[in-house]
């Protein structure tokens, strides 16, 4: 996939030939450049996988006409939550704030999803929520987490088929570090995973490494 890909001299020449005379076969391109078909094969493969060229059997190569930005946009629209989500980290709504702090520390996460007694999403609690509670004079071992959490329906969430780029936009606009991935049922929202800034960063980095 393309992500500010830098073309070498030969690849640039191939693009110019295909732009001017496509569709054109690999053999014809090789003749124009005074090279063998085998020599050109890696360059043609790179240009095709990057999206600059399209190839059709018995027709040849032709220029896609798409800019690097267009190609990157298309690739981003292929990234869905379900392919990059990680396991959710959750607590029951009746656990104490103290236990929630311990759980967050042990799991090394910035947000805990809070579930009701039926296992449905009831709310979320962040590091800031827990820090705010710990600064007060309350007994953290007896204060239930559901008192300080952000409750449904004020929780921002996403679904498995959502685009990662849309989720990234939500994280930025809400200034939060993760979202629960949910499935809607007749009785509530079941949490199936989580998407974090780290998940999204890894997915976007994979664009520059994916060559297939």
How do the pLDDT tens digits run along the chain, 212 residues long? 444 567 889 999 999 999 899 889 999 999 999 999 899 988 898 888 777 888 888 788 988 876 556 666 777 788 999 999 999 999 999 999 999 999 999 999 999 999 999 999 999 999 999 999 999 888 999 999 999 999 999 999 999 999 998 999 899 889 899 999 999 999 999 999 999 999 998 888 776 555 33
Q: How many structural domains is the chain composed of?
A: 2
Question: In this structure, are 101 and 148 located in the same domain?
Answer: yes
- 56: containing domain: 9-66
1 inside domain: no
147 inside domain: yes
How many angstroms separate the CA atoms of 87 and 107, rounded? 11
pLDDT of 76: 77
How many angstroms separate the CA atoms of 146 and 196, rounded? 22
pLDDT of 72: 64
pLDDT of 211: 39
pLDDT of 5: 61
72 inside domain: no
Q: What is the domain-level CATH number for residue 54?
A: 1.10.10.10
pLDDT of 137: 85
Question: In this structure, are 43 and 112 located in the same domain?
Answer: no
Terminal CA-to-CA distance of the chain, rounded, Å? 7
Question: In this structure, are 26 and 118 located in the same domain?
Answer: no
73 inside domain: no
What residues pair up with 53 in beta bridges, in sequence order? 63
182 inside domain: yes
pLDDT of 48: 84
The Cα-based distances of 144 to 93, 113, 207, 211 in angstroms read: 7, 14, 43, 49
Picking from 202, 161, 163, the residue whose alpha carbon sits closest to that of residue 74 is: 163
192 inside domain: yes
Question: In this structure, are 87 and 55 located in the same domain?
Answer: no
pLDDT of 68: 59
Q: Is the dihedral of CA 22, 27, 33, 39 positive or negative?
A: positive
Question: In this structure, are 86 and 35 located in the same domain?
Answer: no
pLDDT of 67: 57
Question: In this structure, are 152 and 101 located in the same domain?
Answer: yes
């Amino acid at each position: 996939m393309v992500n500010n890909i830098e073309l070498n001299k030969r690849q640039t020449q191939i693009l110019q030939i295909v732009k001017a005379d496509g569709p054109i076969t690999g053999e014809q391109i090789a003749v124009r450049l005074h090279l063998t078909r085998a020599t050109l094969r890696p360059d043609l493969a790179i240009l095709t996988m990057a999206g600059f060229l399209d190839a059709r059997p018995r027709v040849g190569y032709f220029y896609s006409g798409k800019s690097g930005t267009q190609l990157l946009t298309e690739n981003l629209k292929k990234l869905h939550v379900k392919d990059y989500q990680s396991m959710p980290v959750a607590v029951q709504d009746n656990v104490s704030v103290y236990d929630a702090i311990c759980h967050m520390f042990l799991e090394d996460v910035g947000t805990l999803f809070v579930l009701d007694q039926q296992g449905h999403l009831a709310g979320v609690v962040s590091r800031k929520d827990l820090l705010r509670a710990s600064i007060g004079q309350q007994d953290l071992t007896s204060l239930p987490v559901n008192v300080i959490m952000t409750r449904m329906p004020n929780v921002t969430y996403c679904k498995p088929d959502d685009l990662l780029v849309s989720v990234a936009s939500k994280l930025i606009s809400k200034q939060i570090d993760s979202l629960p991935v949910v499935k809607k049922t007749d009785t509530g929202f079941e949490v199936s995973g989580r998407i974090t800034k780290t998940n999204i960063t890894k997915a976007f980095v994979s664009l520059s490494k994916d060559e297939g």
